[in-house]
Amino acid sequence: MHHGRNVRLLAALVGAACNFEDSNTVVVAGNTNGNVTAASAALTEGGGMEETSADDEDSGGDGGVAASSDDSDGSGEPDSTASSGEVDTTGEVDTTGEVDTTGGDAVCDPLLLLAMTPGCVPGTAIESAAWADAFCAQTFGAGWIWLEHHQQGGWYVEGTWIDDHGIGERGWIHVDDQPSACYQTDYGVTWVRAALPDWQCRADCWTTIGLEGPEYNPQDGQKCNSYEGDTPCDYCRPLICARP
């Protein structure tokens, strides 16, 4: 009687060993670091145990081990995230469609468009601010006006230039409460486009680029002169136009 029980026990142990050899268990060696799931190595059709290495640049030789057949939630079923074969991109891919503004070219304010007229205009030809507004509208379209010193408070503006014309050049602007336009005095006030490499979005006063020489009248020898004008009116400069 005891002999029969021993035979049945031996048969059960042999059967369990056979079932283990036929199972499909994958062990992925390497530190997945939460970025690549353990099931990036697929199960083979031949059965048995297959060992592969996870390709992880951040592993640093840690040699961590993860198994795709883990029962991580206690349900008795393998963790679906480990067997999907998908790559975890959490926190690594921007799917918002927004432009990354950290580094690279500046992303300029689209609420103010800026442009320099293709041809220059002698300061003596500017009859009034209304005349220059009409010139800008004729050149670029409805809504374009001649740039005024106080468009965004004073001394500079930031917007989006519609083309590459005039980089590093000075252009005529006007000041609505000072006699610094060529229809008022012998000098007109000028601003420069993109005076510094990190000011790609600007037109500004804060530079003496293009104002060197005894014929010019920069303020304090340091910048444009929004009070008296800085450039002789018989000089030819483009107009700086804006569309708010």
The model's pTM is: 0.58
Q: Rounded to an integer, what distance in angstroms lies between the CA atom of residue 140 and that of residue 147?
A: 13
Answer yes or no: do 44 and 143 share one domain: no
Query: Is residue 33 within 8 Å of 63, Cβ to Cβ?
Result: no
pLDDT of residue 198: 82
Q: Are 169 and 234 in the same domain?
A: yes
The residue from 64, 83, 102 where one domain ends is 83
pLDDT band at 6 (very low <50, low <70, confident <90, very high): very low
Q: Is residue 105 part of a domain?
A: no
How far, in whole angstroms, is CA 131 from its chain's centroid? 39
Domain end, chosen from 31, 66, 83, is at 83
- The dihedral through the CA atoms of 55, 60, 63, 64 has a sign that is negative
Q: Is residue 219 assigned to a domain?
A: yes
Task: Please give the mean pLDDT across all residues of the chain.
Answer: 71
Residues 125, 220, single domain; the answer is: yes
More confident site: 89 or 160: 160
**CB-hemisphere CA count at 13 Å for 95?**
5
Q: Which domain holds residue 46?
A: 2-83
Residue 102 lies in a domain: no
Which tens digits make up the pLDDT trace of 58-93?
Answer: 434 343 333 333 444 444 444 444 334 443 433 333
Provide the pLDDT for residue 106.
Answer: 66
Query: Is there a domain that residue 101 lies in?
Result: no
Q: Distance (Å, rounded) from C-alpha 178 to C-alpha 21?
A: 93
Q: So what's the pLDDT on residue 222?
A: 92
Q: Decide if pLDDT at 192 tops 60.
A: yes
Give the separation between CA 48 and CA 42, rounded to whole angstroms. 13
Domain count, the chain: 2
User: How does residue 171 score in pLDDT terms, banded at 50, 70 and 90?
Assistant: very high
Q: Based on the domain organization, do 120 and 176 belong to the same domain? A: yes
Regarding whether 163 and 64 lie in a shared domain, the answer is: no
Could you tell me if 35 and 118 lie in one domain? no
Only one residue has tokens 């340091």, namely 222
Query: Taking 70 as the threshold, does the pLDDT of residue 40 lie above it?
Result: no
